[in-house]
Amino acid sequence: MRIEKIDDLGKLIEVIDSCEGQVELVLDSGERLDLKEKSTQRSSLKLVTGDDGSVRDVELVAQDPADSMKLIDFMMAG
């Protein structure tokens, strides 16, 4: 799923942490970074974070359909 703008990076990380399955960040190069791994989570998201601290125009892939719904609910809530 494509996400255009997220202002609350901390809340996004909370949602990702609550997911049961794997959640990946897909870079423009096609490389996939596992956002469930704490060691790479923040550094991976910093790659796509703007100067204002918001995450802009990224693609996330959740392996579990229930996790996809969590991410969609987060995006809908603003």
Buried b (16+ CB within 10 A) or exposed e, 13-29: eebbeebeeebbbeeee
Q: What is the mean pLDDT of residues 19-48?
A: 88
| Domain residue limits at 44 | 2-77
Number of independent structural domains in the chain: 1
**For 26-54, what is the mean pLDDT?**
84
pLDDT per residue over 45-70, tens digit each? Answer: 777 877 777 777 889 999 999 999 99
Mean local confidence (pLDDT), 20-34? 91
| Structure confidence at residue 72 as a pLDDT band (50, 70, 90) | very high
Q: Give the mean pLDDT of the chain.
A: 87
The distance of Cα 38 from the centroid of its chain, to the nearest Å, equals 13
